[in-house]
Amino acid sequence: MRRCRNACFFLCFVYLFLSFLTNEENQNNEGPEFEPAKILKLNTAELLEVINGARRKLASEKWIGNMYKLEWDSDLVISATKRANCNVKVKHGKDFRERIWFPNDFKRLSDTSEFDNVLNGTNDYDLRWFELLWPSRRRIGCVSVDCFNPMYCHIGPGNKWSRREIIRGPPGSAYIPSSLPSPMLLFALLALVPFANSVYVHLSSFGQFETLYKVTKNSKIFVISDSPQEALQNLTLSTTVAGQNSNGFTLSVPAADGSLTPLVSSNDNDYLSVVFSGSSTLSGYLYTSNATSDLRVFPLNENSSVSFQPGTNVFFRMDTPAGKIPVAQNVVVGSKVAFAGFTGIPEDSASVQFFDSASIEGVTNYDQIELPLSVFHFTSNGDNVKYEIKYAARNGLQIGSSGLLMTDDFPSASFGTNDYALVNPDNADIDLVFVPRMNKTETYSGNVTLFYSALPSVNFPMLSTSSANITSISPVNRVVVESEGPYAIQYMLRDTSLTTPAPIETTTKASSIPQIVASLLIVALFLV
């Protein structure tokens, strides 16, 4: 009878805990949603799903890589039963911590921002609010008593707190060897997420308490920042097993070619420790990667001028000078080299391609590639490439040029209209090729409209959900690009009067019916 009553009180405790911790929208993603009348009918598996849903939520929001699955433990139920005597003074055991819960305590758990406050420093007393959610705990047993409606819970393993236990990373990506009897228990981690080979964190997130990240042999550790030297020297980085040490200033100073020299992990199973002991707020990022051995990282300051290096080159925009954006100028790509550009870092699953040297046949030179991005990278499979990356004003469209047009912060943000006037006083036929790229995760449209001095304009639609190459040979003197969303357009404009004449044609290489109709229309105009 007593066991039944204890179970009922515990189920009520879980319901109160969940109702304060998550809103109705989150409940659908974190575990089953139950009406009060049904909560007492939960079986053990459903109950654990509800509790672990709260732990998943915290791990996801706070980027905790070692959040373990919490499991019901009969031994902890027995020990909690022995302590359930209405005494509100807690008494921890050798391998568990005791927590006495009151209904009003649950309100504190509804705001996960409190977790950061605990880690960054008032005192250890605040840690009690997160006994149930502390990442390294894996077992729980609870009973309830009648007096004051408290709930006695014993949570293990371990009876001490350590902020060192927190390992930042995607949920399920790390574990602490000292807390596990066997490395195989790595697969008991709460979230089913594969190991991530990259860390990308803003430096402002670090404080006086140690933050740990799992690294492997040859992991490259970069600090990209233009904060003052004295502040960056207070950012210490070390590997806990191999004992390698560095600081933020040393890692943030570019070499002669403009690239950063990383701290390279020498141990295959190690942890990167990061501590900031300064009082100011740091700008910039911590970035670790082992995705490729030929990776180079470049901070782009206003006076930067970076030349091509073989492999993967990652760029971080550091300045926003008025009227200027990052650009790649005087780009030359060998005919046998695959050269491509992408948003973000190489490990970012949301990275979007904006440039491909193979997109326009026969073009190997590009005057300007617009790069109004915070982070971007280029890849190549050879060294027959040249470019200069710097800050400059946009050139726009010019006859006789090739390049890339890009909206700010592609592939996000919205956009309106760009109007480009072309200098074509003799109405020469211009060989025009446009290769638009859009955000395919969103549905929106746009138009490229070609204007002529003595002919009707021709409109070519752009759709985010499909690909299209727009080609035209015609006496165009104005181009207007309209779009409901972001785009990147790789282009070529060639004056055919300066080279061997080519047949007159205008096409859009896509299966869209409106585009085909537009192509046929302009062909008819020039062949009549």
Identify the pLDDT of residue 498.
Answer: 87
Contact in structure between 215 and 265 (CB atoms under 8 Å):
yes
The pLDDT confidence band at residue 453, using thresholds 50, 70 and 90, is very high
Q: What residue type is 19 in one-letter code?
A: S
In the predicted structure, residue 516 carries a pLDDT above the cut 60: no
CATH topology agreement for domains 2-162 and 197-289: no
Query: Among candidates 299, 331, 343, 500, which has minimal Cα distance to 401?
Result: 331
In the predicted structure, residue 435 carries a pLDDT above the cut 60: yes
Identify the pLDDT of residue 391.
Answer: 98
The pLDDT confidence band at residue 525, using thresholds 50, 70 and 90, is very low
Identify the pLDDT of residue 517.
Answer: 35
pLDDT digits (tens, 9 = 90+) for 228-276: 999 999 999 999 889 999 999 999 999 999 999 999 999 988 889 999 9
Structure-token match 């096409």, residue found: 507
Q: What residue type is 372 in one-letter code?
A: P
Contacts of 49 by beta carbon, 8 Å cutoff, 6+ apart: 31, 32
Mean pLDDT value of segment 17-41: 37
Identify the pLDDT of residue 162.
Answer: 66
Least confident of 69-83, 324-338, 465-479: 69-83
Mean pLDDT value of segment 84-106: 69
Least confident of 29-43, 66-80, 155-169, 220-234: 29-43
Distance CA 519, CA 472 (A): 9
Identify the pLDDT of residue 36.
Answer: 29
Q: CATH assignment of 2-162?
A: 3.40.33
E-strand stretches of 265-384? 270-276, 285-289, 295-300, 306-307, 312-317, 325-333, 339-343, 353-356, 365-370, 375-380
Identify the pLDDT of residue 292.
Answer: 75
Top mean pLDDT of 108-112, 114-118, 269-273 is at 269-273
pTM > 0.75: yes or no = no
Average pLDDT, the chain: 79
Identify the pLDDT of residue 29.
Answer: 38
Look at residue 79 and give its three-state secondary structure: helix
Identify the pLDDT of residue 501.
Answer: 42
Identify the pLDDT of residue 76.
Answer: 86
Q: In what order do the strands lie in the sheet with 97-101?
A: 71-72, 139-144, 151-156, 97-101
Other residues' Cβ atoms within 10 Å of the Cβ of residue 443: 12
In the predicted structure, residue 515 carries a pLDDT above the cut 90: no
pLDDT digits (tens, 9 = 90+) for 362-391: 999 999 999 999 999 999 999 999 999 999
Identify the pLDDT of residue 23.
Answer: 38
pLDDT digits (tens, 9 = 90+) for 263-311: 999 998 888 999 999 999 999 999 999 877 799 999 999 999 999 999 9
The domain made up of 197-289 is a member of CATH 1.10.3470? no
Query: Among candidates 522, 514, 510, 366, which has minimal Cα distance to 430?
Result: 522
Domains of the chain: which residue ranges?
Answer: 2-162, 197-289, 295-527
